[in-house]
Homo-oligomer: A and B are copies of this chain.
């Protein structure tokens, strides 16, 4: 098995044009900048508006990255879907092209489903993709999916598919849950990624694998320095600096706010476009974000300008 993808990953923002179509060129350029700044690419995550992007569109965007020479070894695409056939198609495509991992949401329409049912979903994906299945990371984001990845489910999946089940992303924001994942499974090689850089200093001593965090889209350098130096003399300063950026974006408008910020720093208004059901920031909210970013003297170094 090749080396696991660890460190700092971005759930990559997806740029759309005025007709709401994915802007392939802008997507490739954003991914290249992220990789150049030591970030892995968790394309098609929650912050990518992945649920709003069809299977065909996701395959096309992935192919564009590969054709542009972005290494598949840096990619952990989101391949979970409500329909098994979609999850299998996305997972097979990514596995065939050598993706470092698959970040797999549980099916998220039906609520109050059993661990048996969620187990069956992951098992079917693994069996159908077959021998070449890329390492699977379970995606725990109960506040949105309403279908949790429980400790019991992880234990069953690890027992049945030890070669494929590689880790989890914990987007619950609940440190007790992240700690339980680390305490129970990290020593066995299960790679836990908290969904916020704010947990880096607490999680890394417990063998976390890094983080997959929305704000990596804007601050890959700062978060990578924290990942590398959390246990150095500057560790506390690095954590505080990263936290200050994170704090600006936390709250109810994360995706449109991040897109607004990238639009501002790249001088490309098109970046503000989101797909329904999300909406762009109104002017007052946008101005408030601008002020907060100015107050902490935030910048996106060497980001391509239009």
Contact = CB atoms under 8 A, between A and B. Distances in A.
A83 B51 CA distance: 6
A111 B120 CA distance: 26
- State the number of copies, please: 2
B110 A277 contact: yes
Interface string A99-119: 000000011111111101110
A117 B267 CA distance: 25
A141 to B, nearest CB: 10
Interface string A142-179: 01111100000000000000000000000000000000
Q: Tell me the interface secondary structure of chain A in the complex.
A: loop
A66 interface: no
Nearest to A112: B252
Interface of A: 20, 46, 51-57, 82-86, 106-114, 116-118, 120-121, 124, 143-147, 252, 275-279
Contacts of A121: 276-277
A117 B51 contact: no
Contact of A276 (B57, B84, B276): B84
B54 A276 contact: no
A149 to B, nearest CB: 12
B111 A143 contact: yes
Nearest to A275: B84
Given A109-B144, A110-B144, A118 B276 contact: yes
